Amino acid sequence: MSEQEVGLPRSTAARRTSAYLHRHPGLRAGGLISAPLFWLALIYLVALVALFITAFWTVDFGTAVTREWTLDNFKKLYEQEVYRTVILRTLWVAIAVTLIDAVLALPVAFYMAKLARPRAAAFMVVAVLTPLWASYIVKAFAWRSMFKPGGVLESALGWSPGFGLTAVIITLAYLWFPFMVLPLYAGFERLPDSHLEASADLGAKPWRTLRVIAFPMIIPSLIAGSIFTFSLSLGDYITVETVGGTTQMLGNLVYDRQATDIPFAAALATVSVVIMIIYLALVRRTGALDNL
């Protein structure tokens, strides 16, 4: 008897393909992520490779790009003190922003996850996320209006840091604060309450419980937050242009040089990428990334 006579579905190419994929889940998963991986390779990796290649070219007489391999751009970064200063300043600002956000986010995240009632915790999560709904540029210019002479801070407190490095650190710490709070909040939520209760039952004071029990367990979350705050601060240029005054950092230096010397701008941008690779390699050696 035929398949139609016994009521069996007709064997078509689509059904055979579906059955084959059902028997091979790895192939099915590969097909599912192939399109996103293709776009990742095309948009991100190809652009990154182009950046690295361009960094080894030069500009001939300030106009045409000479496609000849040379280390002149990197020699300039090493030999000229102004660029070394900018690199160290950028690195210091990124570290300062990361530390400030970590110090501020730890108690907030712990309160949200372990002490606040569910409704209050939900409200605080929304409050942390709300600034992300506003435009990045709008928030930067809002801080500019606060720092400027005669602005909000000077009118209310009689003092303002003005435009400069302090304003850059404050603004960046505000902008990236949610990216530190949310990973820590998730880490504290995963921390079993029984661990904290057992520590208290054994006579440990709250600070010792946090230091010995809670903190080691949320290190992966702290690492995750630091990757966001550190990398975003390292490459930022809009905030520096808005509230930095005459302060130069890698981001706005790349923005300024790309109009006149694209290879040198690419070399400057490569510095940020190399710093992040080194940072991720150091973090990976701690094993924290394995538990994210």
How many CB atoms lie under 10 A from the CB of residue 221?
Answer: 25
Q: Which CATH number fits domain 76-291: 3.50.50.60, 1.10.390.10, 1.10.3720.10, 3.20.20.30?
A: 1.10.3720.10
Residue 146: CB partners within 8 Å, gap ≥ 6?
152, 153, 160
pLDDT at 1: 47
Q: Would you say how long the chain is, in residues?
A: 292
> Which residue do the tokens 């009689």 mark?
158
Angle between helices 72-79 and 81-110 (to 10 degrees): 80
pLDDT digits (tens, 9 = 90+) for 237-257: 899 999 998 888 998 999 888
Question: pLDDT tens digit string along 123-150?
Answer: 999 999 998 888 888 999 999 999 988 8
pLDDT at 158: 79
Does position 12 have pLDDT exceeding 60, yes or no? yes
- At 89, the pLDDT band (50, 70, 90 cuts) reads very high
7: pLDDT strictly greater than 60:
no
Domain range annotation of the chain: 10-41, 76-291
Span 164-175, average pLDDT: 94
pTM of the model: 0.83
Q: Across the chain, what does the average pLDDT equal?
A: 85
What are the tens digits of pLDDT across the range 24-41?
676 767 777 777 777 877
Report the pLDDT value the prediction gives residue 2, as an integer from 0 to 100.
46
Q: Is the pLDDT of residue 194 over 70?
A: yes
- Per-residue pLDDT tens over the stretch 145-157: 999 888 888 888 8
* 203: confidence class by pLDDT, cuts 50, 70, 90: confident
